[in-house]
């Protein structure tokens, strides 16, 4: 049986592998467009010259600059992006809180102490008819945890605590930032692969440029599928890691198991596929409503992992 630390370490290794793969593809797309741009006679030698800056890799660096700028914009507006489209309330610990709001604030404080988290994420209640939760951010400036009203009303205290520990684990592991970066890299590389074939056409018929254009044409069809499966693989790894992180913080996997079962039953008995007006946060939810290309592992696999076995 694997320990929670081993599960986290294994999924961190998987995450690193996915990120390295993404970066390699991202740079390759830029370099291929640069090869077409300079009308290179030989593909291999042109790639070497671009990588060693003997020829300035203009498109590749522009792609990297665009990625950095878009990431900066997303980071500065992450809370507004994730919360938009729904009514929500901030649970402010500086105010006098009562009832469930007081309980939620107390639970978060308990988790912060138990996990030695050096900052306090903002805590929100989201008005929604379904049971779910999500986290965003990774530091004191942008981190948040949001729970839906239906989840708070239908879970026991220790189950709510497990859900919050799961979301806190996402923040502590830094996978919210990673998922956002991968999504941006993916969109940019697909855009460049699609348009890079046609931007530099006239007079660029040398063998290297033609081969690079052919590779870009192939990638137009291969990349969307490959990118989808990479993102699914990454998202599923991060969910296993957050589940394990929650059980580790609480030193008990049973509350997380019960919470997953209740949330799954809530979705099995109701159709919430059109209930959320904000598609941006869909992949960040604790429970994913998608079926065919779900970004999350099945509930059965998540529970099995929490119990230390595989299905």
Residues 286 and 135: their CA atoms lie apart, in Å, by: 9
Residues 154 and 160: their CA atoms lie apart, in Å, by: 9
Residues 275 and 47: their CA atoms lie apart, in Å, by: 48
Active-site residue, 167 included: yes
Q: Tell which residue, 245, 260, 267, has the closest CA to residue 304.
A: 260
Catalytic-labelled residue, pool 10, 101, 109, 167? 167
3-state class (DSSP) for residue 145: strand
Residues 126 and 95: their CA atoms lie apart, in Å, by: 19
Catalytic residues, by residue number, are 167
């Amino acid at each position: 049986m694997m320990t929670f630390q081993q599960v986290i370490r294994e999924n961190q290794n998987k995450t690193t592998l996915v990120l390295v793969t993404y970066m390699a593809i991202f740079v390759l797309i830029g370099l291929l467009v640069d090869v077409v741009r300079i009308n290179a006679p030989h593909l291999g030698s042109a790639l070497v010259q671009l990588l060693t800056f003997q020829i300035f890799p203009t498109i590749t660096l522009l792609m990297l600059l665009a990625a950095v700028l878009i990431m900066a914009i997303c980071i500065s507006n992450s809370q507004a992006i994730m919360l938009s489209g729904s009514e929500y309330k901030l649970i402010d610990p500086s105010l006098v809180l009562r009832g469930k709001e007081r309980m939620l604030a107390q639970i978060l404080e308990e988790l912060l102490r138990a996990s030695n988290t050096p900052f306090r994420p903002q805590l929100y209640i989201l008005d929604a008819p379904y049971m779910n939760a999500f986290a965003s951010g990774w530091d004191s400036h942008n981190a948040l945890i949001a729970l839906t009203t239906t989840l708070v009303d239908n879970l026991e205290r220790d189950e709510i605590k497990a859900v919050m520990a799961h979301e806190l684990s996402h923040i502590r592991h830094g996978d919210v930032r990673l998922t956002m970066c991968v999504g941006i890299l993916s969109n940019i590389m697909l855009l460049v692969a699609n348009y890079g074939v046609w931007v530099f056409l006239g007079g660029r018929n040398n063998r290297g440029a033609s081969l690079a254009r052919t590779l870009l044409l192939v990638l137009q069809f291969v990349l969307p599928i490959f990118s989808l499966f990479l993102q699914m693989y990454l998202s599923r790894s991060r969910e296993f890691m957050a589940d394990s992180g929650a059980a580790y913080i609480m030193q008990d996997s049973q509350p997380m198991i019960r919470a997953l079962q209740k949330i799954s039953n809530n979705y099995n008995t109701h159709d919430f596929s059109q209930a959320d007006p904000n598609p941006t946060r869909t992949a960040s939810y604790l429970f994913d409503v998608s079926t065919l290309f779900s970004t999350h592992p099945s509930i059965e696999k998540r529970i099995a992992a929490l119990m230390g076995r595989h299905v």
